[in-house]
Structure 1
Amino acid sequence: MRDAVTKKPLPGASLLVAETQLGARADSLGVILLSHPPGTLTVYISCVGYLRNRQTTVLSTNNKQVEYMLQPRSTNLDEVDVKAVREDANVRSVQMGQIQLSMPELKRMPVVLGEPDILKALTLQAGVTTAGEGAGGFNVRGGRADQNLVLLDGAPLFNTNHLLGFYSNVNPDMVQDVNLSKGAFSAQYGGRVSSLLLMSTRNGNRDGWRLSGGVSPVSARVLVDGPISKKLTLLAGGRVAFPNYLLRAFPVQSVKNSRAFFYDANLKLTYTPNEQNTISLSAYRSQDDFKFPGDTLYGWQSNVLTGRWSYLVRPNLQLNLTGLYSDYRLNVDGITPGLTFRFSSFIEQREGKADLFYTLNQKHKIQVGTNAILYRIQTGEAEPTGQNSSINPRRNEPEQGRELGAYLNTEWELTPQITLQAGLRYSAYAYLGPRTVYQYAENIPISAETVTDSTRYGAGQTVQAYGGLEPRLALRIQVAKATSLKASAGRTRQYVNLISNTTAITPLDFWKLSDRYVPPQIADQVSVGLFQNLRDNMFELSIEGYYKRLQNQLDYRFGADLVLNPALERVLLQAAGRAYGVEFGIGKNAGRLTGQLNYTYARSLIAVQTPFDELRVNGGQYYPSYIDRPHTLNLQARWTLPHNWTFSTNFVYYTGVPATYPDGLFIFNGEPVQDFSRRNADRIPDYHRLDVAFSKDTRFNKAQKRYGIWTLGIYNLYARKNPYSIYFTRTNQRTEAYRLAVFGTLIPSIAYNFYF
């Protein structure tokens, strides 16, 4: 089953034999295996987003392979979101904890400053939160931001934001699919313990050249795609921001004197020499620059390159070979006279993968594969700039690590009502030299004063090795035609860690590999859920509960000095974590009014595990982590109006994040000092916000190819001053509290998207 235009397989396409009413549905490779007596058959084939087709097939006594082509009907519809899943996939599929975004609807959502944003859309889903307004990264079911595996065309993104968190760093015009797995994801993937976010870019158009893009108050983007030849297509796009004129309009002096800029660019080439082979090359680059008033310039960039060869060995057997490179680099420039310097850090990942997909029959699929990763990290390097700088050069020794993995995954429909998905992954990791490793005295806390010896390892030598099995299991039981019960469980391991002692991701955060004193993070998660559709899939109802246990989480000693610290083990603490919650959701998928409502009750707790009383946080008891939000409510609605107008709205509410407030005062050397006795014992006030937007589609008819979409929106409609943080200062013998709001008023926006 193939797309008649792109010649790509069509997973989920249906085939029906009119004479016997025998039918089947295509697997993930677009293949249908069917047994039928010989004769002349009338066959009906169909797929969501394609014109239904009727063909006559002559079946002899021998095996026969037939390719059926379906014509897309997107030019005859208002705006088709073609999915490789059924409308009732939430009930019939074995996966749970899945979130899929509709890219056309994303561009009509009300967002800050009018720029469509993938990550902001994800934070409106159950179980997904953020550290605060304008904060970088996202958190899934109580996991930290660095515990999410974010893949763009299979390559990891180590930074996911522009402008310190105001925008996600992937242009939504380039993206075809966005899929977030919150639970036990496929054994094909490893390396993170919280979630898996898959984003794939579109292939270039094979019929002709197209131009599209958009303009908002702070950015502009453009995309072009088309055929270079009959077998080679191109997709290229870019985005650039110009927010400085808005920053200068702010009345706050610190904001008014700040400067910001970013750009990102994507390129994808797809070569299809024949129906069995597809070769693709995709590249991505982003750059951010930010200047705080006075003395500091920040710059960070990401670079990604992915090459993939897909070979259809047989109709039911496919081989994928992938090579990729990804890096994230940070530069901080100090510009204070006499103290000029440049601080830098980076993380690089090189990876090779091989995956084999085999469909035994319609009810049984097998997937096997292997991968090898080489990490290279610089945690920090500082050097003076200029001839009059008094800064001394400092450089941490780079880190290197190697990770090998192999997996086996199978999905088996045991009965029409029961489907089992089982997987097993094994990962082996080695921390490599050159490296100097310190030994410390036993039974006392690690410190510079307790060093007893050191060992020097040469280049390529194994300093420390870890590894283990990562089983995954999922089960679906169809208890009624439109109702199913699902359960899943899985273990994952993570060998890279983001070092940060702030609630939100900042430019000064850096990555570190697991070593002798920093073991890999391990997470075990179980989840159960009930899913039901009503009124011919018009309404979706769901309830999911989960429990997650985490080992070897990183916490920090009081007063930890992280930047340019060559021996981080002296300020790090090992902690245990646990997260649990219940997610309720209801969605309406058809009619003039569509949308979803979800509510989540969730907890994320952490406990520092150490035999030394002086290092225990909150007495060694479990306490709320920095991302603990017990209550979250999200409402999204979209109303289709006459004359191609659409009204959209979002409402969000969530509990404020934990905070540590001073609870006393003591005198030290004659000076008053604020006392903070318990970490995260208080909370910032709750957050809530209402956004609205109107969109106008300029098409006069559904077949019009050149058109535009105007979107007018208001972010934070009732201008609530939602607190981002609360901090304390002591002046004139008094302790005073101050509340910081990132957006303390409503923000109107206008955006224009065009298609030619």
Structure 2
Amino acid sequence: MAQQRLRLTITVQDGVTKKPVSGASVFIAETKAGAKADSLGNALINHAPGVLTVYVSAVGYIRGRETIVLDFNKRIVYALQPRSTDLEEVDVRATREDQNIRTVQMGQIQLSMPELKRMPVVLGEPDILKALALQAGVTTAGEGAGGFNVRGGRSDQNLVLVDGAPLFNTSHLLGFYTNINPDLVQDVSLSKGAFSAQYGGRVSSLLLMSTRNGNKDGWRLSGGVSPVSVRAVVDGPITRRLTLLAGGRIAFPNYLLQVFPSPSVKNSRAFFYDANLKLTYTPDERNTIALSAYRSQDNFRFPGDTLYGWNSQVLTGRWSYLVQPNLQLNLTALYSGYHLNVDGVKPGLTFRFASYIEQREGKADLFYTLRQKYKVQVGANGILYQIQTGDVQPTGENSSINPQRTAPEHGRELGAYVNTEWELTPKISFQAGLRCSAFALLGARTVYDYAPNGPRSPETVTDSARYGSGQAVQTYGGLEPRLALRVQVATHTAVKASAGRTRQYVNLISNTTAITPLDFWKLSDRYVPPQIADQVSLGVFQNLRDNAFEVSVEGYYKRLQNQIEYRYGANLILNPTLETALLQAAGRAYGVEFGVSSNKGRLTGQLNYTYARSLVSVQTPYDELRINNGAYYPSYIDRPHTLNVQARWAMSHNWSFSANFVYYTGVPATYPDGQYTYNGEPVQDYSRRNADRIPDYHRLDVAFSKDTRFNKAQRRYGIWTLGVYNVYAHKNPYSIYFTRFNQRTEAYRLSVFGTLIPSIAYNFYF
């Protein structure tokens, strides 16, 4: 008679965060049986009854040992303790050292939060987006510019999620800082290529940021002080099953702005704050309920008479239910909003301009894992959009401003997906997914018809149609396939390929190279079809010297449809016929990214070089609307050459030294190439868009850090960081502008940070 076999399920969790530890090893000493934990932290072993000695281990954790009496089907939860008991000193990714070789995903960047806080950054404030901009394929429009660009994509083409909710604005202080407090963040992951079919709505990249859960074992306090801000985070257990994480940051940069050489910066006034709250409730081992809230506020006053204010609010509720050890259901409801106010305070011309975007979403996701080698995800979501592109109202009794308001926009987006990952053999695995999305622009709305034989303009309106509230005005949709393949050609070498299509139904309207307060969001409509991107990529990844060094080469090609470009002299603000100012364009981006990183030893760091192009073409039958005669020309984010070097040296007595060097090609610009006379006045002539470039950018930053701990188990300690940004005080130009002076055209260079900037920061943990 065959011996009875019982099921032993061990769920492996991080002893600090209580999150699953995927890939953990479970080993039974008596019979040498073992298993690997899946993405939910579950390891399943069928074994004969008896007294078992079970060992549990994972990279970055202290090996655990447990004696178990197996007399019936049993499920236990085992908490692995990090090698350092303090969260800030642990790489919480819980991934293998050779993760870049073993996983099917490519084009991914994961940040280490401990290293982020030791990097030399402007004014001493740790910054997530500034750290991402040091990676291959990621750039920004320049110093003091909001947003970021990935592989030739524009800033609005990045899907940025915080605990699953989108952020429509990612920067404080007009781009100087990321608007998420790094002290609250546990994981940061950026996907530059074909990301999972679980996500949609943007055509360039996916940035996932998740905040920490509150500590279950006791209350903790951490934070930091820098020249511009004060940060504080508190977390701990309210009850045995309910934890709290709360944090905030407030800034006071006015006195520092006065030291910058740029008049537009030194005479400005600014203020911002942000705050996070997270409650996590675990009524039992199968259920987890989390509620996350976020709010930020910025105020900025340029020299003159205008005050800008903008804020973001995010609220997310999530229920996770472990149906079976290998089957999990997640239900999520969220709200995200971004609001802008511009106040004019000039006597007699006082006004308030407002615009906003709001998103309400519900989604369900089901995750199934079969013996760690086959994973399936299915899900669906629904989104409601509400957008106000512009509303200006006079303020005060003596204002001569006339009220004006554009019609609000309403939209509905539905999506469903299936995503699979299958390890065919230990050396071959693939990921395949299919997403289906459908979008509808909803009324109430008036849609104009234009004369068919000429460019759209307010003067060529021939008719209009009125749609009632909730009525479908325009619909779009389609399939979005995703595919990725990994082939391990040697023990430490893998070749990966990926391809995917994405669609985007919301667009940021801006005629500047960087995100500004006056940019606004717009939904796709009859004249603005959704953006579509098709991207293919191929890469080779190799690890050397027991994973101490990582070498990678990735190439990509991206084709974009329905990009938004602008007519010369376009009027965007409060334009009731905005479609007359917009042009439909095609885009293409391609490049090669080369990277080398050192992960072990006293000297660590990375070097990456990127050759990349981003081109756009406006092709129209009307000569007066063609840009550069319809030929492809460099987009405003085209940077052929980018070099980033990072290094960190671990010194004695808990001191460390870090340095960053950055070089990239100057962004395209349009310079006047002549002049003509109109009504007796000289007028500058601009014949070709983006035919010139501002000078190249380069910068060196350094920092020294001192950790006050005597050992890694010490829970109360501080980290001092002394840094210098732009060590050799290079006056990197942000833009070049031209003015007329004494019958001559003269060029002027605008630099945001035209000098070196020393800083000191202190982070504390209690």
| Residue number in structure 2 paired with 1:551 | 561
1:317 paired with 2:338, answer: no
Distance across 1 between alignment mates of 2:83 and 2:614? 46
SS across alignment from 2:347: coil
SS across alignment from 1:90: helix
| Residue number in structure 2 paired with 1:422 | 432
Distance 1:590 1:63, change over 3 A: same
Distance across 1 between alignment mates of 2:538 and 2:188? 23
The range that moved more, 673-682 or 243-252, is 243-252
Structure 1 counterpart of 2:755, one-letter code: T
SS across alignment from 1:490: strand
1:352 paired with 2:372, answer: no
Asked whether the 8 Å contact 1:304–1:325 carries over to 2, the reply is: yes
1:331 paired with 2:371, answer: no
| Residue number in structure 1 paired with 2:650 | 640
Distance across 1 between alignment mates of 2:372 and 2:73? 17
| Residue number in structure 2 paired with 1:740 | 750
Q: Deviations over 1:102-125 (max 9, x none)?
A: 001000000000000000000000
Q: Deviations over 1:514-573 (max 9, x none)?
A: 001100000000000000111111000000000000000000000000000111110100
Distance 1:36 1:532, change over 3 A: farther
> Which of 76, 92, 98 matches 1:82?
92
| Residue number in structure 2 paired with 1:12 | 23
> Which of 139, 142, 156 matches 1:146?
156
1:174 paired with 2:195, answer: no
1:52 paired with 2:63, answer: yes
1:115 paired with 2:135, answer: no
Distance 1:710 1:69, change over 3 A: closer
Asked whether the 8 Å contact 2:738–2:748 carries over to 1, the reply is: yes
| Residue number in structure 2 paired with 1:655 | 665
Asked whether the 8 Å contact 1:48–1:82 carries over to 2, the reply is: no
Q: Deviations over 1:489-524 (max 9, x none)?
A: 000000000000000100000000000110000000
Q: Deviations over 1:717-749 (max 9, x none)?
A: 000000110011111111100001111110000
Q: Return the offset for 1:33.
A: 3.3
The range that moved more, 20-29 or 740-749, is 20-29
Distance across 2 between alignment mates of 1:251 and 1:599? 31
Asked whether the 8 Å contact 1:77–1:702 carries over to 2, the reply is: no
> Which of 640, 647, 650 matches 1:630?
640
Distance across 1 between alignment mates of 2:387 and 2:714? 51
| Residue number in structure 2 paired with 1:403 | 413
Structure 1 spans left out of the alignment, 5+ residues: none
SS across alignment from 1:413: strand
| Residue number in structure 1 paired with 2:719 | 709
Q: Return the offset for 1:18.
A: 3.6
Aligned sequence identity (%): 80
Q: What is the aligned-residue RMSD (CA, Å)?
A: 1.5
Asked whether the 8 Å contact 2:84–2:712 carries over to 1, the reply is: no
Asked whether the 8 Å contact 2:172–2:298 carries over to 1, the reply is: yes
Alignment of 1:62-461 (within 5 A): 65-75=75-85, 79-250=89-260, 253-461=263-471
Distance across 1 between alignment mates of 2:117 and 2:189? 17
| Residue number in structure 2 paired with 1:464 | 474
| Equivalent residue pairs, number | 755
Q: Return the offset for 1:257.
A: 3.0
Structure 2 counterpart of 1:733, one-letter code: Q
Distance across 2 between alignment mates of 1:54 and 1:234? 30
Alignment of 1:584-733 (within 5 A): 584-733=594-743
Structure 2 counterpart of 1:391, one-letter code: I
Q: Return the offset for 1:148.
A: 0.1
Q: Return the offset for 1:8.
A: 3.6
Distance 1:432 1:242, change over 3 A: same
Distance across 2 between alignment mates of 1:538 and 1:559? 54
SS across alignment from 1:116: coil
| Residue number in structure 2 paired with 1:489 | 499
Asked whether the 8 Å contact 1:77–1:703 carries over to 2, the reply is: no
Q: Deviations over 1:462-514 (max 9, x none)?
A: 00000000000000001111110000000000000000000010000000000
Alignment of 1:558-577 (within 5 A): 558-577=568-587
| Residue number in structure 2 paired with 1:538 | 548
Distance 1:254 1:182, change over 3 A: closer
Distance across 2 between alignment mates of 1:5 and 1:239? 24
SS across alignment from 2:85: helix
Q: Return the offset for 1:74.
A: 2.3
Q: Return the offset for 1:16.
A: 2.6
SS across alignment from 2:114: helix
Distance 1:561 1:76, change over 3 A: closer
1:33 paired with 2:37, answer: no
Asked whether the 8 Å contact 1:546–1:582 carries over to 2, the reply is: yes
Distance across 2 between alignment mates of 1:346 and 1:396? 12
| Residue number in structure 1 paired with 2:521 | 511
Asked whether the 8 Å contact 1:7–1:275 carries over to 2, the reply is: no
Q: Deviations over 1:569-620 (max 9, x none)?
A: 1010000000000000000001000000000000000001211111010000
Asked whether the 8 Å contact 2:52–2:69 carries over to 1, the reply is: yes
Asked whether the 8 Å contact 1:430–1:465 carries over to 2, the reply is: yes
Q: TM-score, normalised by structure 1?
A: 0.98
Distance 1:389 1:7, change over 3 A: closer
Asked whether the 8 Å contact 2:406–2:575 carries over to 1, the reply is: yes
Q: Deviations over 1:215-269 (max 9, x none)?
A: 1111111111111110111110100110111223456654443210000000000
Distance across 2 between alignment mates of 1:456 and 1:278? 47
Asked whether the 8 Å contact 2:88–2:113 carries over to 1, the reply is: no
Distance across 2 between alignment mates of 1:57 and 1:241? 53
The range that moved more, 546-555 or 692-701, is 692-701
Structure 2 counterpart of 1:467, one-letter code: G
Asked whether the 8 Å contact 1:209–1:225 carries over to 2, the reply is: yes
Q: Return the offset for 1:293.
A: 1.8
Asked whether the 8 Å contact 2:92–2:187 carries over to 1, the reply is: no
SS across alignment from 2:44: coil
Q: Return the offset for 1:666.
A: 1.3
Q: TM-score, normalised by structure 2?
A: 0.97
The range that moved more, 90-99 or 447-456, is 447-456
Distance across 2 between alignment mates of 1:21 and 1:445? 76
Structure 2 counterpart of 1:472, one-letter code: R
